[in-house]
Amino acid sequence: MITNGSADVVLEVDDAVQSVILHHTADTPFDPGSVMSHLVPPFLTHHGAMVVLSALVLLALMWFSVRRRPAAPVPTGLANLAEVFVLFIRDHVAIPNLGEEDGRRFTPLFCTFFSFILIMNLLGLVPCFMVATSNVNVTGGLATITLGFMVFGAMIRHGVTGFFSNFAPRGVPWPILLILVPLEMVGLLIRAFALTIRLFANELAGHLVLFSLLGLILVYGLRALPVIPLALFVYLLEVGVALIQAYVFTLLSAVFIGQAYAPEHG
């Protein structure tokens, strides 16, 4: 039988676990401390700070990869790793979905997508850090970039009239077009929405599961120690998920942009 005192302790521990989970998943104003608080913009949040940090890490990695470029035509070290990565994105993601010319032109965009998302995902696994891609505003911003190329890039390629004519396939009776055209337009937005939710939901769900498992130790004490190997397994699984989700977002962006640029192949 649980006494009132024991019940109060359980409720306090449960509230503590919930507060820890919310602290590491919910976005809150960024507070670096009283010493540097005057240097931080008031609108900056923890997820925003992680986005900035990820961008700085990406820039630092790129700088280190090119600052000591060898005189030989074949790069070595970090530069060689960067070249392998770029060639993979170009030959297996960009060119197959956009063709030779457009694929080479869009390779920098897709390389940025993949590396930036991957760094944000991995930094979120570092203790005391937060995962920026568990914020729907961050993933929505990335998906908006893809949507911009799908709409405005296609308008530049085909013209405004040609862009909207792609929503009305030739030979389709006009009564059907009254239904088909609005559905095609909504489908354009749904693709961007799918990019947003897929990345956001996978990253958020993984961290919720991880923190919930660790929270069992606070609730049940030593009896919950067997969940530590399971939590470690989930943590290692999240490393793989970080890589897969970065690749999936990049690949789907290439597919959607390729369909907008060449709708006859979509």
Q: Between residues 147 and 266, which one has the greater pLDDT?
A: 147
252: confidence class by pLDDT, cuts 50, 70, 90: very high
Residue 152's Cβ-side half-sphere holds a number of Cα atoms within 13 Å equal to: 6
pLDDT, tens digit, 9 for 90 and up, residues 76-115 = 677 778 888 899 999 999 999 998 989 999 999 999 999 9
pLDDT, tens digit, 9 for 90 and up, residues 157-166 = 888 888 888 7
**Rounded distance, CA 46 to CA 59, Å?**
20
pTM of the model: 0.84
**SS3 label, residue 39:** helix
pLDDT, tens digit, 9 for 90 and up, residues 45-81 = 888 889 999 999 999 988 887 776 555 566 667 777 8
| Mean pLDDT confidence for 237-251 | 94
pLDDT at residue 145 is higher than 60: yes
Task: Report DSSP state, residue 128.
Answer: T
**Rounded distance, CA 108 to CA 62, Å?**
13
Q: What's CA 18's distance to the chain center, in Å?
A: 25
| Mean pLDDT confidence for 261-265 | 65
pLDDT, tens digit, 9 for 90 and up, residues 171-199 = 777 777 778 888 888 888 999 999 999 99
Closest by CA to 191, choosing from 260, 237, 115, is 260
**Cβ atoms 79, 65 nearer than 8 A:** yes
Hey, what amino acid is at 247?
Answer: Y
- Residue-level pLDDT at 108: 94
Backbone angles phi, psi at 29, to 5 degrees: -60, 140
Hey, what amino acid is at 103?
Answer: G
Which residues touch 11 (CB under 8 Å, ≥6 apart)? none
**Rounded distance, CA 44 to CA 36, Å?**
13
Give 29's strand partners: 45
Hey, what amino acid is at 102?
Answer: D
- Residue-level pLDDT at 39: 58
Task: Report DSSP state, residue 168.
Answer: S
- Residue-level pLDDT at 1: 40
Residue 17's Cβ-side half-sphere holds a number of Cα atoms within 13 Å equal to: 20
Mean pLDDT score across all residues of the chain: 82
Residue 43's Cβ-side half-sphere holds a number of Cα atoms within 13 Å equal to: 0
**Rounded distance, CA 114 to CA 90, Å?**
12
Give alpha helix (H) positions in the chain. Answer: 4-25, 46-66, 77-89, 95-123, 136-148, 154-165, 174-220, 227-261
| Mean pLDDT confidence for 27-35 | 63
